Amino acid sequence: MRELLYDPDRLAQAMADSGLDALVATQPSGVRYLTRFPKAGRSLAVVTRDDPAHPQLLVPAVELDYLVEDLVPGLVHRAWGEFVRELDDDAVLDDNQRLVAAAHADRRRDLDRPAMLANSIAVLGLGNARIGFDVAPVTEPGLVDALDGADVADASPVIPRLRMCKTALEVERLQEAARIAEAAISATVAVATAGVTQAELASEFRVAVAREGGLLRVDSVSVGTATVFGNANVPTSVLEKGQLLRFDVGAIYAGYQSDLSRCFNLGEPTEKVRRYANAVIAGQGAALDMLRPGVRTADLFAAAVAETRKAGIPHYARTHVGHGIGLAGAGYDAPLLGPNDSHVIEEGMVLCVETPYYEFGMGGVQIEDMVVVTATGWHPLSRLPRQFSVL
Residue 41's contacts (CB-CB under 8 Å, 6 or more residues apart) are: 28, 60, 62, 63
Residue 13: its pLDDT value, please? 98
Residue 1: its pLDDT value, please? 56
Confidence band of 318 (pLDDT split at 50, 70, 90): very high
DSSP-derived 3-state class of residue 277: helix
Give the predicted TM-score (pTM) of the model.
0.96
Per the CB < 8 A criterion, the answer to whether 261 and 354 are in contact is: yes
Cα 201 to Cα 391: distance, rounded to the nearest angstrom: 15
Query: In angstroms, how far is CA 362 from the centroid of its own chain?
Result: 31
DSSP-derived 3-state class of residue 129: coil
Residue 209's contacts (CB-CB under 8 Å, 6 or more residues apart) are: 180, 181, 184, 215, 216, 219, 251
Cα 391 to Cα 389: distance, rounded to the nearest angstrom: 6
User: pLDDT tens digits, residue range 87-106?
Assistant: 998 999 999 999 999 999 99
Average predicted confidence (pLDDT) for the chain: 96
User: pLDDT tens digits, residue range 54-70?
Assistant: 999 999 999 999 999 99
Whether cis (ω within 30° of 0) applies to the bond prior to 335 is yes
Residue 2: its pLDDT value, please? 76
Per the CB < 8 A criterion, the answer to whether 301 and 319 are in contact is: no
Residue 40: its pLDDT value, please? 82
Q: What integer is the mean pLDDT of 100-125?
A: 96
Cα 370 to Cα 109: distance, rounded to the nearest angstrom: 46
Residue among 324, 321, 347 nearest 334 (CA) = 324
pLDDT over threshold 70, residue 269: yes
- Residue 244 burial by Cβ neighbours in a 10 Å radius (0-12, 13-18, 19+): buried
Sign of the C-alpha dihedral computed for residues 295, 297, 298 and 299 taken in this order: positive
Confidence band of 127 (pLDDT split at 50, 70, 90): confident
DSSP-derived 3-state class of residue 40: coil
Task: Count the neighbouring beta carbons within 10 Å of the beta carbon of residue 314.
Answer: 9
Task: Count the neighbouring beta carbons within 10 Å of the beta carbon of residue 232.
Answer: 9
Per the CB < 8 A criterion, the answer to whether 58 and 80 are in contact is: yes
Cα 114 to Cα 140: distance, rounded to the nearest angstrom: 9
Residue 10: its pLDDT value, please? 97
Q: What integer is the mean pLDDT of 28-38?
A: 96
Q: What integer is the mean pLDDT of 225-250?
A: 96
Return the H-helix or E-strand segment holding 151: strand 151-154
Residue 356's contacts (CB-CB under 8 Å, 6 or more residues apart) are: 230, 248, 261, 280, 318, 364, 365, 366, 368
Per the CB < 8 A criterion, the answer to whether 233 and 205 are in contact is: no
